Amino acid sequence: MLPEVLTIAGLHALYRTGVSPADVLRDVTARIAECPDKAIWISLRPLDALLAEATTLGDGPSAEKPLWGVPFAVKDNIDCAGLPTTAACPAFAYTPSADAFAVARLRAAGAILIGKTNLDQFATGLNGTRSPYGAPRSVFNADYVSGGSSSGSAVAVGAGQVAFALGTDTAGSGRVPAAFNNLVGVKPTKGLVSTTGLVPACRSLDCITVLAGTVGEADAVRRVMQGFDAADAFSRAMQPRALPQAGLRFGVLGASEREFFGDAETAALYDAAIARLEVLGAKRVEVDYAPFRECTALLYGGPWVAERLAAIDAFFEAHASDMDPAVRDIVAGAKGMSAVDAFKGVYALEAYRRRADAEWTKMDVLLLPTAPTIYKVADMQADPIRLNSNLGRYTNFVNLLDCSAVAIPAGFRADGLPGGVTLIAPAFADDALAVLADRLHRAQPFGMGRDRAATLAGEAMTASAEGLLEIAVVGAHLTGMPLNHQLTSRDGILLRKTRTAADYRLFALPNTTPPKPGLMNEPGFAGPGLEIEIWGLTPRHFGDFVESIPAPMGIGKLKLADGGEVSGFICEPYAFNGAQDITSFGGWRAYVASRAG
């Protein structure tokens, strides 16, 4: 009944056909039971409890319940009322009476909690093998690590068991597993999402993150969770930071800083992502990555490791023998550190920040590989510290230097294993960064999770994030067509390519210069759906653009193949007299190409 990988948009489209949340929950429960990877989950809610909750949801998705009926998972270092919080350490387990701040917001928005997922113990690791509950595996090859520490959350989404999952990110834990499972990982600016109810790793750095199939959906979840929390001393209100809509500069690694540990194919995926971002109109700038890289040593080799001990100090004194050996050794490294070391670390961080700030004057965003390579589980277990450190080469600095980040898929190696890239920007650029990351992801989609052929769900929320209004174009305003300049000259940005719903016909209108098509809605017609592009314009430019549209064209609401709606071109009925039906071409671009040939 359900697609291989679940999305919010796809589930809501199913619900409009009469499928019920109870149907979905039964299917999800069966998928989990049949999945051969038994290390994904630490605890699950029973089906009868899920079905009972489904009866309380109300009538359907709404502005108040944008996540209505959507199953999700939570990393087991985040509190969920009535389910044990273990942090992947049974001796540490306790059962909270209340949901974490972020979880409570998601459930109030209609999302249905399925259970708690596995992780590197105490969120200490980037590989997913440091847990007594087993090691979740990449959805593409069970010999390889899933990435961590949000291992179970990533695999649950990648395997189609939930539509999104919460992870956490201190050093890359919400981004590396996204890369290894062909997913998006949204890491908000520190403090935007409250950490009340989170077992700390490094409390001053921790972020609750989202893993999902698309940037639009992951960012929509982030928005639901976001909000100032007076109970969290590190909570911050959003102070939106814009990115240029034209002339954007993106930083890339120079030759001396490119390190892929012999993985030439992942290096090639990074180069291909750079080329795609250039095609979207951004300008690459080679920057000095050294201050970012050198900063990463503070996280595990410097005094910030003492913050990991501070989070579990009493437990560590009494139960160190109950911990994963690699995690125990890392945390024990804080024992010899002093207040003097802590201040020296703060001074060092500020010096790195000053050097990094100089690089930020050259760029608006930084594009990096999410991870330089991927390792087999057996190899990671044989060399857990060094290989784990390799995975964090391009992630560890992000929270130390107070950045926002979005990890997206970047393609596949010849052996079928995925790679990823991450867009990074200064704090509070989250909204604008989501727009850019969504555009780059859609420039060459690689499916979602284990379904490499999946069509990316269409989401308007990334456009509204930037204060942009969406408009769908179907003909002469498409990229490369004669009137596209009317969008680009107004600083319009291409948000995504998609298709209309099936009940539309397309006609080549007579006597138009340049040639234009007209779109006709015909309820009951079962066509192919028509190729369209969705562009984003500021409100001022949107109004100016609409004002310039000549008769017989106008703007109305178009239905999309994924069930959503968007403003777009419609046509007065009289204009179809003498027009040629070109619906079979599937879009204006294919029709124009046929005429040219």
Burial of residue 310, with CB atoms counted within 10 A of its CB: 0-12 exposed, 13-18 middle, 19 or more buried = middle
Nearest alpha carbon to residue 212 among 171, 183, 252: 183
Q: Answer whether 21's CB lies under 8 Å from 15's CB.
A: yes
Supply 360's token pair: 């930020």
Q: 447 Cβ partners below 8 Å, 6+ apart?
A: 5, 182, 409, 453, 454
Task: Give catalytic residue positions.
Answer: 75, 149, 173
Element (H, E) at 30: helix 21-34
Q: 421 Cβ partners below 8 Å, 6+ apart?
A: 269, 270, 273, 367, 368, 369, 370, 407, 408, 410, 440
Supply 42's token pair: 């630490």
Round to whole Å and give the CA distance between 272 and 268: 6
What sign has the CA pseudo-torsion 106, 108, 114, 118? positive
> Residue written as tokens 């879009």?
587
Q: Answer whether 372's CB lies under 8 Å from 391's CB.
A: yes
- Torsions phi, psi of 471, nearest 5? -140, 135
Burial of residue 360, with CB atoms counted within 10 A of its CB: 0-12 exposed, 13-18 middle, 19 or more buried = middle
Round to whole Å and give the CA distance between 33 and 299: 38
